[in-house]
Amino acid sequence: MHKISGIRSVGKEYVELARSLGASPRKAFFDIVIPLALNSIFTGLRLEAGMAWRTIVAAEMIAIPVGIGALMMVSQYLIRVDIIMLCLRVLALMTLTSEKLLMLIEEKIVRWR
């Protein structure tokens, strides 16, 4: 959704300017729309990365017998709160790492911001 809204948020005026300068619709899309939408696209990716990790863990808790989610379920039966807390920390770390990684990539690519 963020990717689509990012593309939609690019000012129509920029596309018109590119077209009047001689760019074809395809050229205007790749030269203007995509680069200007990158900001919103990366914001969406960062948000979705955290959501993706949480979804994986939720799936592991319900349907998959391996992974952090499954470990948390087993720990719950064994009343091992320490393992549950550790799993949550690992999940937080994974989410944070993905977000920071995407931020680094964004800084490299979206230099004009």
Partner 1 sequence: MTKIKLENISNKYILKKVDLTIFSKELFMLLGPSGAGKTTLLKAIAGLVDYEGRIFFDGESIDNLPPEGRMVGYVPQEFTLFPHMTVEDNIAYGLKVRRLPSPTILQRVEQLLDIFGLRSLRKRYPKDLSGGENSV
Query: Binder to partner 1 among 1, 13, 65, 77 (CB under 8 A)?
Result: 13
Query: Binder to partner 1 among 8, 11, 58, 100 (CB under 8 A)?
Result: 11
Which of 51-59, 61-69, 84-92, 104-112 is the region at the interface with partner 1 (rule: CB under 8 A)? 104-112
Q: Is 107 in the site for partner 1 (CB under 8 A)?
A: no
Q: Which two tokens stand for residue 105?
A: 């990539």
| Rounded-to-integer distance, Cα 78 and Cα 74, Å | 6
Q: Is 105 in the site for partner 1 (CB under 8 A)?
A: no
Residue 38 amino acid letter: L
Query: Binder to partner 1 among 4, 5, 8, 16 (CB under 8 A)?
Result: 16
Least distance in angstroms from the C-beta of 100 to partner 1 = 23
| Rounded-to-integer distance, Cα 97 and Cα 44, Å | 16
| Rounded-to-integer distance, Cα 49 and Cα 52, Å | 5
CB atoms within 10 A of CB 90: 14
- Contact pattern from residue 18 through residue 57 relative to partner 1, giving x for each residue in contact according to CB under 8 A and a dash for the rest: xxxxxxx--x---xx--xx---------------------
Sign of CA dihedral 112, 37, 106, 90: positive
